[in-house]
């Protein structure tokens, strides 16, 4: 099997996973597609090195996180906008209202807090692994995650869904 075939096989098997992570970060399917496209392009450019690492999923996830965070710093989304937003077609959560409330609360978090929450709880990474991906200390991850969870709890307690559940 050639190097390109191994790359294609890996990316094909991981596209859905990458899209889910990207969506959790940006809450927009079109933007998530852009993040994934940049990620798999960078992965291809570095495929010779990447294909030799022990944890290829971790390597790819790190690229995705760095692309997302770099974009947040540059403000790219502020000056590149579509005229008409594409239709949003996520898979339906068990409780659509709770999914919408959680998505809105996640979107309200600062980018690094959102990245910390997604890596820690969706990707199920340790504090140390998350710190390595985001290029900071484990203490920073702990404080970012704690602040993010506090904000999420607060936002979800205030949501209209809480009144329906009471």
pLDDT (tens digit, 9 = 90+) per residue, 59-81?
999 999 999 998 887 765 555 55
Q: Tell me: do 66 and 108 sit in the same domain.
A: no
**Which domain, by its residues, includes 23?**
1-90
pLDDT higher than threshold 60 for residue 93:
no
pLDDT higher than threshold 90 for residue 33:
yes
Give the rounded percent of residues in the chain with a pLDDT score beyond 70.
80
Q: How many domains does the chain have?
A: 2
pLDDT higher than threshold 50 for residue 128:
yes
- 3-class SS at 114? helix
Looking at residues 41-62, what average pLDDT do you find? 94
Q: Tell me: do 101 and 56 sit in the same domain.
A: no
In whole angstroms, what is the distance from residue 135 CA to residue 53 CA? Answer: 18
Q: Tell me: do 80 and 39 sit in the same domain.
A: yes
Q: Is 124 left (phi over 0), alpha (psi -120 to 50) or beta?
A: left
What is the chain's alpha carbon radius of gyration, rounded to the nearest angstrom? 17
pLDDT higher than threshold 90 for residue 104:
no
Q: Tell me: do 18 and 75 sit in the same domain.
A: yes
In eight-state DSSP terms, residue 119 is: I
| CATH number for the domain that contains residue 31 | 1.10.1740
pLDDT higher than threshold 70 for residue 94:
no
| CATH number for the domain that contains residue 154 | 1.10.10.10
Query: Considering the chain, what is the average pLDDT of its residues?
Result: 84
pTM of the predicted structure, to 2 decimals:
0.66
Token pair for residue 120?
């820690």
Of 40, 73, 90, the residue at which a domain comes to its end is 90
């Amino acid at each position: 099997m050639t190097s390109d075939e191994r790359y294609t096989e890996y990316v094909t098997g991981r596209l859905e996973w990458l899209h889910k992570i990207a969506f959790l970060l940006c809450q927009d399917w079109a933007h998530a597609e852009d993040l994934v496209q940049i990620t798999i392009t960078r992965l291809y450019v570095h495929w010779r090195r990447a294909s030799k690492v022990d944890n290829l999923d971790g390597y790819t996830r790190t690229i995705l996180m760095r692309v997302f965070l770099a974009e947040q710093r540059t403000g790219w989304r502020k000056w590149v906008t579509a005229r008409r937003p594409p239709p949003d077609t996520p898979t339906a959560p068990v409780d659509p209202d709770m999914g919408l409330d959680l998505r809105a609360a996640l979107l309200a978090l600062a980018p690094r807090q959102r990245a910390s929450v997604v890596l820690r709880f969706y990707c199920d990474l340790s504090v140390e692994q998350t710190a390595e991906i985001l290029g900071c200390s484990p203490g920073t991850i702990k404080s970012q995650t704690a602040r993010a969870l506090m904000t999420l709890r607060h936002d979800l307690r205030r949501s209209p869904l809480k009144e329906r559940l009471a």
